Amino acid sequence: MALFRARAATSAAIFNTFLRSFSSSSATTSPSHVSARDRTMTSYLLTHDITSQIGSCMPLSMMRIGTVIHNIELRPGQGGKLVRSAGTSAKILKEPSASRHCLIRLPSGTEKLVDTRCRATIGTVSNPSHGAKKLRKAGQSRWLGRRPVVRGVAMNPIDHPHGGGEGKSKGRHSVTPWGKPTKGGYKTASPKKRKRIYTI
């Protein structure tokens, strides 16, 4: 209840500031010059909570539990990194103001702890039917700049490390055409380094 009152007080302060600026600008002109659009926007701001409007971007500490969000930062001020593809969204599972980190469920089902100072946008990314779109012909993928993908096993030894041999044999672990590991690459993370981003 105390948290709700604090948020209501914050919203009221924002609205009062807006009203003061609006009244000062309208004091110089007659009421007949005030457009209907300005009156509609003023009434909208007075009757709606800014922390629950779709499209609002703010720190996670100002959001409520259960809010659907997208375009989430991993570190404060870094810019959105998570949940940015078409039709995706994440959900806040833990009260952000209760601790330093906020528990978020990502579209993959993974639950991640993110700093409450990081910003996110309320709502879901548009164009949810993007993944269901089917290409009419092979040339349409070329229009999008996607070139054909050929398996290394189907090549000759001179073209790829997986090429050659009798039958469908690779003879080694999966590598790129230049010999580097493809499944995760080389391990570069230090086990002694403290991780700033937590995953449950």
Residue 111 in 3-state DSSP? strand
- pLDDT band at residue 193, thresholds of 50, 70 and 90? low
CB burial of 15-36 (b: ≥16 within 10 Å; e: otherwise) equals: beeeeeebeeeeeeeeeeeeee
Is residue 51 predicted with pLDDT exceeding 80?
Answer: no
Mean pLDDT computed over every residue of the chain: 81
Quick one: pLDDT at residue 168?
87
pLDDT tens digits along 118-155: 999 999 999 999 989 999 999 999 999 999 999 999 99
Quick one: pLDDT at residue 176?
93
Is pLDDT larger for residue 170 or for residue 82? 82
Sign of CA dihedral 31, 37, 38, 43: positive
